[in-house]
Amino acid sequence: MTGETTVFPNPLRWALGLWRDQKHRGTIIQIMALVALLLFIGIIIRNTAINLQALGLEIGYDFLTEPANYDINQHLIDYNSLSSHLRATVVGIINTALVSVCGIILATVIGLFAGILRLSKNWLVSRIMYAYVEFGRNVPVLLQILLFHALIIHTLPHPRASLSPMDGVFLSNRGFYVPQPVLEPAAWAILAALVIAVAAAWWFAGHAKRVQENTGRHYPVFTINLALIIGLPLLAFFLAGRPIGLDFPQLKGFNYQGGMVLRPEFTALWFALSFYAGAYIAELVRAGILAISRGQTEAAYSLGLRPNWTMRLVILPQAMRVMVPPLISQYLGLIKDSSLAIVIGYMDIVATIGGISLNQTGRALECMSITLFIYLGISLGVSTVMNWYNRRVALVGS
């Protein structure tokens, strides 16, 4: 019986064959790059551990449970100097998220209107918007933060001579004081009505869009949804016996007590970031509108649509496909620029765990790693949401 001999391929020839194949070569390069990156990170971690050991230091996050021993001038959750560094970190995260969300909303509104007005046929209006855009984009954001802070501190009067544009509202260099809602047990009915109203508005917006696509009939979605979101909670407010009261601020001593306050540090940072980012968003809006063919506008006019309806229903929805990708970068930039809050004393994540906690504990590596991963998580979250929206508005290929 004659045995059959198995022929094994030449390993070198097999490897060269994989390398010459374009698909396999790309995979091999990615694997090599990943291995090199992991080795580089491993070397850094090893050297760091050796150096810390030589200095007699240990890596650990147990300090987060120790008392922070410092005050934070703005906190939306309970906090005092005896709270832990971990709670101070949470307060810093909330403050960073608050100014970032408020800044994104206001910057979007400013940029939208400024971008549209930049294209106005009114020469004066377009020139004013041009001056705003050029000033906002070419002056460093740090200087704008200091400028807004100085305007609030040195322009507004002290609390005893504060401005009162309406009852219960006071503007001073210590902050903007407004009445604070006081919720009674029956206030849950208003919250439930608000949730139902938002859900109904979401459904109606989708229904109106489907009707418009199928029949061409247009519903006043904005007006109806606005009336729904305001009217239903307002109706629940009266039916539940007005379960929300108001705590008005009162001048006691050298400052106001009670109510809600927007502190100068938060206000200055909010306005400065919105003013700065709004200038860039205005250019994105202008570029997105100019990217739409003039024939789209002429076709809308020929159908009898007024200019404001043409902008809302025809131009802006198409321009969003151009604006959203760079808009993501502007939002991320605004969030990262909020780290400059430390220069005016606003206690964000950099000022808490990345500043005072670091100086008190000496745990530089741990504090900086926490700060880094917090910003990374916030940025990835915003990117995920905006990329999802970008896919929603993008053109679908056949």
80-92: pLDDT as tens digits: 888 899 999 999 9
Give the three-state DSSP class for 165.
strand
**33-67: pLDDT as tens digits:** 999 999 998 888 888 778 877 777 777 788 888 99
Q: Rounded CA gap, 303 and 289, in Å?
A: 20
Extract the tokens encoding 330: 């502007």
**14-23: pLDDT as tens digits:** 767 777 777 7
Residue from 181, 102, 107 nearest 141 by CA: 107
When pLDDT is cut at 50, 70 and 90, the band that residue 396 belongs to is low
Q: What is the reported pLDDT for 1?
A: 46
Q: What is the reported pLDDT for 8?
A: 47
Least confident of 51-55, 109-113, 334-338, 365-369: 51-55
Residue from 194, 205, 292, 276 nearest 235 by CA: 194
Sign of dihedral through CA atoms 35, 38, 43, 49? negative
The three-state DSSP-derived secondary structure of 195-224 is HHHHHHHHHHHHHHHHHHHHHCCCCCHHHH
pLDDT at 398 over 50: no
Is 351 exposed, middle or buried, given 0-12, 13-18 or 19+ CB atoms closer than 10 A? buried
- Most confident of the ranges 22-26, 309-313, 337-341, 393-397: 337-341
DSSP state at residue 264: H
Q: Rounded CA gap, 175 and 263, in Å?
A: 4
Considering the domain delimited by 85-138+262-393, tell me its CATH architecture. Answer: Orthogonal Bundle (1.10)
Query: Structure pTM?
Result: 0.80
